[in-house]
Structure 1
Amino acid sequence: MDLRTRKTRRALRGAFLEMRATRPLEKVTVRELCERAEISKATFYLHYHSVVDLSRELQEAVVSDIVSGLGETGGPLADPRRFTRELFLAFIEHADEIDVLFSRGQEHALIESVERELRRRILSASPELESDMRFNMLLTYQVHGSHATYMRYARGIGDEGRRDVVDAISEASAAVASLW
């Protein structure tokens, strides 16, 4: 990618994140986005079809970073405690981006995207798990259930409190996995 393209994309991303921090996705217009990024609408359309495409690209990048940051955990069946702990530490690390990109009507997209990307990566290494009901249920439980628990109990508390919540969620995930 050449320098101009990188600068344009960086300007669009910055302007988009500023706008999304204060308004829902539906209220971000191409015209206003281009004004903030100091580019023409024609330039915007060379890179993206719509504001939704830009948003989706940024969301996918955050999800990819979260999942890539998990390392080689072996997935939810091999070491559920470690898997869950690393997943939530990744959520905490990307909290600012998550709060902007997955807020104001986009909250559901984060967990669905994380589960889909985790499943894709795990199945690419272990395709035999695709029809394994235990694996599929445990992955869904760990991602969705753990995230719901985290959101209920870890919002608005300090780092030490969040670590305690993550530890408790990790223990619960290990306990559930041991039942199967």
Structure 2
Amino acid sequence: MAENTTDRRVRKTRGQLRQGLVRLMREKSIQDITVKELCEECDINRGTFYLHYTDVYQLLHSIEDELLVEFERVLDGLTAQSVLAAATPSPAMCSMFELLADNADMCLVLLCHNGDMAFLEKVKDIVRLRVLDEWGAQFRSNGRDTYDYVYSFIVSGCIGMLQCWLEKEMPISPREMAAMVEGVLVKGVTALL
């Protein structure tokens, strides 16, 4: 019972720190946020902060790492076949946008407001590694190596659409957004095949 109480308190404290960090990152970059300022924002003692994290960067990186693990899990189901052949939107693409919607506050500050370029590069690297083998073969089979162009189109376009959706406070559902992105991918990608 005491362990559950401790776990609940730890989750609550970490949740408060996450929300406080999001609020502050809407106004300034991570480099300009101090532990003292974050603790004041969350009404948490600095000693409590240091029980969990060494600095604001470690807090940010732990949040990013959690998001990336979930992102990779969702990407497991997102294959070229599921996007090109399945009914739109594919369950995997819907899961992707549900994950983004569930973490919209953090995604907004990481990808849009005072964003962390290193995080964005990690996302791009994960996508590149996940699609390189599967999609790369399709775009090399036409006698020209168009993969780098297709990859740039897909990633930049998807991230741009995601940023727009987040900045507009998600005016359409994750399912509608997934269908829109898949529609753009399929029409844009099939023109190059």
TM-score tier (shorter): 0.5 to 0.7
* Distance in 2 between residues matched to 1:52 and 1:136, nearest whole Å: 32
Match of 1:95 among 96, 104, 107: 104
* Distance in 2 between residues matched to 1:8 and 1:89, nearest whole Å: 25
The CA deviation string for residues 112-155 of structure 1, in whole angstroms up to 9 with x for no partner, is 232223345567xx69x79x866665444322222224545885
* Corresponding residue for residue 172 of structure 1: 184
- Given that residues 15 and 33 in structure 1 are in contact (C-alpha distance below 8 angstroms), is that contact kept between their aligned partners in structure 2? yes
Q: Is the alpha carbon distance of 1:49 and 1:57 closer, same or farther for their aligned partners in structure 2, counting shifts above 3 Å?
A: same
Q: Is the alpha carbon distance of 1:93 and 1:44 closer, same or farther for their aligned partners in structure 2, counting shifts above 3 Å?
A: closer
In the superposition, the TM-score normalised over structure 2's length comes to: 0.61
* Corresponding residue for residue 68 of structure 1: 73
SS at match of 1:26: helix
Q: Which runs of 5+ in 1 are unaligned?
A: none
* Corresponding residue for residue 153 of structure 2: 141
The CA deviation string for residues 88-131 of structure 1, in whole angstroms up to 9 with x for no partner, is 454344323312444432164554232223345567xx69x79x
* Corresponding residue for residue 81 of structure 2: 78
Q: How many residues align?
A: 172
Q: Which runs of 5+ in 2 are unaligned?
A: none
* Distance in 2 between residues matched to 1:139 and 1:94, nearest whole Å: 25
Q: What percent of counterpart residues are identical?
A: 22
Q: Where in structure 2 are the equivalents of 1:116-127 lying within 5 Å?
A: 116-120=125-129
* Distance in 2 between residues matched to 1:70 and 1:99, nearest whole Å: 20
Q: C-alpha displacement at 1:55, in angstroms?
A: 1.4
The CA deviation string for residues 52-102 of structure 1, in whole angstroms up to 9 with x for no partner, is 22112212322333342345122xx33445579444454344323312444
Q: Is the alpha carbon distance of 1:107 and 1:53 closer, same or farther for their aligned partners in structure 2, counting shifts above 3 Å?
A: closer
Q: Is the alpha carbon distance of 1:54 and 1:154 closer, same or farther for their aligned partners in structure 2, counting shifts above 3 Å?
A: closer
* Distance in 1 between residues matched to 2:108 and 2:166, nearest whole Å: 14
In the superposition, the TM-score normalised over structure 1's length comes to: 0.64
SS at match of 1:159: coil
- Given that residues 66 and 94 in structure 1 are in contact (C-alpha distance below 8 angstroms), is that contact kept between their aligned partners in structure 2? no
